[in-house]
Chain A
Amino acid sequence: MTKEENNGAAEELQIQSKKALKKQQKEAEKAAKKADKQAKLAAEQQTTSEEDFAKDRYGQPAMVQSQQKPDRVLVRIQDLTPEKADQLVWVRARIHTSRAKGKQCFLVLRHQQFNVQALVAVGDRASKQMVKFAANINKESIVDVEGVVRKVDQKIESCTQQDVELHIEKIFVISLAEPRLPLQLEDAVRPDGAGDEEGRATVNQDTRLDNRVIDLRTTTSQAVFRLQSGICHLFRDTLIKKGFVEIQTPKIISAASEGGANVFTVSYFKTSAYLAQSPQLYKQMCICADFEKVFCIGPVFRAEDSNTHRHLTEFVGLDIEMAFNYHYHEVVDQIADTMVQIFKGLRDNFTTEIETVNKQYPSEPFKFLEPTLRLEYKEGVAMLREAGIEMGDEEDLSTPNEKLLGRLVKEKYDTDFYILDKYPLAVRPFYTMPDPSNAKYSNSYDMFMRGEEILSGAQRIHDPDLLTERAIHHNIDLEKIKAYIDSFRYGAPPHAGGGIGLERVTMLYLGLHNVRQTSMFPRDPKRLTP
């Protein structure tokens, strides 16, 4: 090392030490400030512990480990109505927001999609320290609150319980949330565009889905999934009344049911298996086994690498299969009626939920006709041609054309739900029964909601010879579907059916734009968590 370099290094050292010195000074100052603050806080606490007369009325009790069974009724927030005025009640809820203002603190307590305004004010029931404690509880913490229900003169517009507020006498934290939330609930329920005007934030979909547990707490999500549960319930209820039997089918299957390209392969001991794309084969086998009318609610899997607003890789399928007497329209009518019963049930029993979702995602009310409108594919094509669309007779409907046809049907018939019957045979799976009067067409149908397909169904071929012929026509390896074809050899009744995607029905009924909004924990080619 030369001298110069040495010098240079020394200088550098000096500079460094200078810097370090400054840093140290700063840190010392900081520490002093901190100590000061702490001292102040301690002093405050000391004085408070001396004076606090309400110290038994708030705090963070020990973790609930089921040590006791207190004789305490927790009233639900939705039940806090003027009838309960002047009663002393216990409530368990989350801290939605809190706003301290001098000697009082306003809280909004939330339970599911309901909320109420609560108030802690310094007085003979609450001390200064208690108000401060209440104001400092982190958002989203769960609290047990005892308070008096009081009528209010002016409606509280921001809450669902507008006519009362809760005057808190005791408040205990049951579960403390972390101070920083990955997303704010208010931001997550703001309608698209409304944020821009006020310069406020909205939360994008990926952030929502990454923090799904919090996003699911929003009023909109709560309403969506309560309504979705309603769809399943109405589906089951209607079909059971019609004499259907609910069945459970395996999801691990040995051969792909509808074309081999879009199935998930799983390793199955020494061989491989597939995840079911639909319970198609099994529900048909149940028909051959004399169950006559069956339905099944369960997961179905599609390994399609399509990232669209309406594709998921796992979704819930509502499947129907039914033996009929002479014409497959017997089945179509049953399915259509089931859908209509669902729409009616939602309209009548889920008004609040629909309104809640509409607040964030406005849409027109869902319209349907009774009996359901049934158009033939040919008529649909004719309507599209009339609107200037060029397409072949046997061409499948593209998504834009499907949507356009939906608009045309809505304009002409004023319905958001209709059936398109008699699809070209060429665009349907091999087990679809050909139309007896025109070999180019088939006894198959799709059902549409707001111009998007929700159900695909058909009369199935119940004759093993015709089934074999069609399979060969579709270049399907007969060996692989032997068991399926064989099940029709011992007497099989004519039958038809269809499968609906639960998420799609929810999405389209509510007029939402993305199927991920109606899937609780969506799975798509890019998302496997949460």
Chain B
Amino acid sequence: MAEAALKELASLEKYLGLKKTNKYSTKGERKVPVLQTKDGQDIVGLVTIACHLVKAAKQEQLLGRTREESAVVQQWLEYRIVQLGAPGAKEESRSTLRDLNEYLEDKVYFGGDFLSLADILMYYGLHSCMVDLTVQDREKFVNVSRWFSHIQQLPNVQQHLPRVHIMKNRIYTNVH
């Protein structure tokens, strides 16, 4: 968990184009990532650090351009931590995917029509889950797959993660 979170933050830094990589430590039993800033303050937690990095990279639009948008982004960032990061998330992954599939049916991004930090972190969070899915399941959760395929092809997002193959044509139509 901790390893993954630190890797994720390093990937996010690269995506955001931050040149100077930060030093991280972890804290507590669940190894929550900690970032020590230049002025000596500790920033704790994956999402908090991620938001800080976005601001440092001067890409605030990734946190939402209006108040409604930022509320939606914050909601999905919290979902990322609470739902995907929780112990036992792996066992519940199918019901999570079912919910997300329904949500994404009429959306390009988690925020709707704009790319946000939520998409990047959800992508990192869902990757292990998507890798394990069979071709048939990827087709079953077709909206998640479409979104996932889109995000992983954005420049510099993929970073440390292997590409997940998503088929463009449906092969399980009319399956009884």
**Within the complex, what minimum Cβ distance (angstroms) separates B133 from chain A?**
10
Does B161 count as interface, using CB distance less than 8 angstroms? Answer: no
State the main secondary structure of chain B at its contact with A: loop
Complex interface: chain B residues within 8 A of A411 (CB): 169-171
Q: In the complex, A53 Cα to B117 Cα: how many Å?
A: 91
Q: Which of chain B's residues 142-159 have a Cβ closer than 8 Å to chain A?
A: none
Q: In the complex, A389 Cα to B133 Cα: how many Å?
A: 11
Q: In the complex, A361 Cα to B172 Cα: how many Å?
A: 18
Task: Tell me whether A408 and B171 are in contact in the complex, defined as CB-CB below 8 angstroms, given that A387-B135, A388-B164 are known contacts.
Answer: yes
Task: Tell me whether A362 and B171 are in contact in the complex, defined as CB-CB below 8 angstroms, given that A388-B164, A404-B135 are known contacts.
Answer: no
Residue of B nearest to A410 (CB): B171
Does B165 count as interface, using CB distance less than 8 angstroms? Answer: yes
Task: Tell me whether A364 and B174 are in contact in the complex, defined as CB-CB below 8 angstroms, given that A387-B167, A388-B164, A388-B165 are known contacts.
Answer: yes
Complex interface: chain A residues within 8 A of B174 (CB): 364
Contact of B176 among A362, A407, A410 (CB under 8 A): A362
Q: In the complex, A232 Cα to B172 Cα: how many Å?
A: 31
Complex interface: chain A residues within 8 A of B167 (CB): 387-388
Q: Which of chain A's residues 326-348 have a Cβ closer than 8 Å to chain B?
A: none
Q: In the complex, A132 Cα to B135 Cα: how many Å?
A: 61
Q: Are A407 and B165 in contact, CB atoms less than 8 angstroms apart?
A: no
Q: In the complex, A400 Cα to B135 Cα: how many Å?
A: 10
Does B21 count as interface, using CB distance less than 8 angstroms? Answer: no
Complex interface: chain B residues within 8 A of A361 (CB): 176
Contact of B171 among A388, A389, A407, A511 (CB under 8 A): A407
Complex interface: chain A residues within 8 A of B169 (CB): 411
Q: In the complex, A91 Cα to B33 Cα: how many Å?
A: 84
State the main secondary structure of chain A at its contact with B: loop
Encoded as 1 (CB less than 8 Å from any B CB) or 0, chain A from 113 to 125 comes to: 0000000000000
Task: Tell me whether A388 and B176 are in contact in the complex, defined as CB-CB below 8 angstroms, given that A407-B171, A408-B171, A411-B171 are known contacts.
Answer: no
Q: In the complex, A410 Cα to B171 Cα: how many Å?
A: 8
Q: In the complex, A364 Cα to B176 Cα: how many Å?
A: 8
Q: In the complex, A400 Cα to B134 Cα: how many Å?
A: 9
Does A363 count as interface, using CB distance less than 8 angstroms? Answer: yes
State the total of A-B contacts with C-beta under 8 angstroms.
Answer: 28
What total of chain A residues lie within 8 Å of the partner, measured CB to CB? Answer: 14
Residue of A nearest to B131 (CB): A388
Q: In the complex, A244 Cα to B69 Cα: how many Å?
A: 75
**Within the complex, what minimum Cβ distance (angstroms) separates B23 from chain A?**
36
Contact of A388 among B135, B136, B170, B172 (CB under 8 A): B135
Complex interface: chain A residues within 8 A of B165 (CB): 387-388
Residue of B nearest to A404 (CB): B135
Complex interface: chain A residues within 8 A of B164 (CB): 388
Task: Tell me whether A363 and B176 are in contact in the complex, defined as CB-CB below 8 angstroms, given that A388-B165, A400-B134, A404-B135 are known contacts.
Answer: yes
Residue of B nearest to A384 (CB): B135
Complex interface: chain B residues within 8 A of A400 (CB): 134
Encoded as 1 (CB less than 8 Å from any B CB) or 0, chain A from 360 to 382 comes to: 01111000000000000000000
Most B CB within 10 A of own CB, among A361, A400, A404, A407: A407
Q: In the complex, A437 Cα to B170 Cα: how many Å?
A: 37
Residue of B nearest to A385 (CB): B165
Complex interface: chain B residues within 8 A of A388 (CB): 135, 164-167
Q: In the complex, A404 Cα to B165 Cα: how many Å?
A: 14
Complex interface: chain B residues within 8 A of A389 (CB): 135
Most B CB within 10 A of own CB, among A363, A388, A404: A388
**Within the complex, what minimum Cβ distance (angstroms) separates A402 from chain B?**
13
Residue of B nearest to A400 (CB): B134
Q: In the complex, A364 Cα to B175 Cα: how many Å?
A: 8
Q: In the complex, A177 Cα to B97 Cα: how many Å?
A: 53
Q: In the complex, A364 Cα to B174 Cα: how many Å?
A: 8
Q: Are B172 and A407 in contact, CB atoms less than 8 angstroms apart?
A: yes
Q: In the complex, A364 Cα to B167 Cα: how many Å?
A: 23
Q: Which of chain B's residues 94-124 have a Cβ closer than 8 Å to chain A?
A: none
Q: In the complex, A404 Cα to B133 Cα: how many Å?
A: 13
Complex interface: chain B residues within 8 A of A364 (CB): 174, 176
Q: In the complex, A362 Cα to B165 Cα: how many Å?
A: 31
Residue of A nearest to B170 (CB): A411
Q: In the complex, A361 Cα to B134 Cα: how many Å?
A: 25
Complex interface: chain A residues within 8 A of B172 (CB): 407
Q: In the complex, A410 Cα to B175 Cα: how many Å?
A: 12
Encoded as 1 (CB less than 8 Å from any B CB) or 0, chain A from 62 to 95 comes to: 0000000000000000000000000000000000
**Within the complex, what minimum Cβ distance (angstroms) separates B2 from chain A?**
28
CB-based closest 8 A-B pairs: A388-B165, A407-B171, A411-B171, A363-B176, A404-B135, A362-B176, A387-B135, A364-B174
Apart from A387-B167, A388-B135, A400-B134, what 9 extra A-B contacts exist at CB < 8 Å? A363-B176, A364-B176, A388-B165, A404-B136, A407-B135, A408-B171, A411-B169, A411-B170, A511-B176
Binding site for B on A (CB under 8 A): 361-364, 387-389, 400, 404, 407-408, 410-411, 511
Query: Could you show 13 A-B contacts with beta carbons less than 8 Å apart?
Result: A362-B176, A364-B174, A387-B167, A388-B164, A388-B165, A400-B134, A404-B134, A407-B136, A407-B171, A410-B171, A411-B169, A411-B170, A411-B171
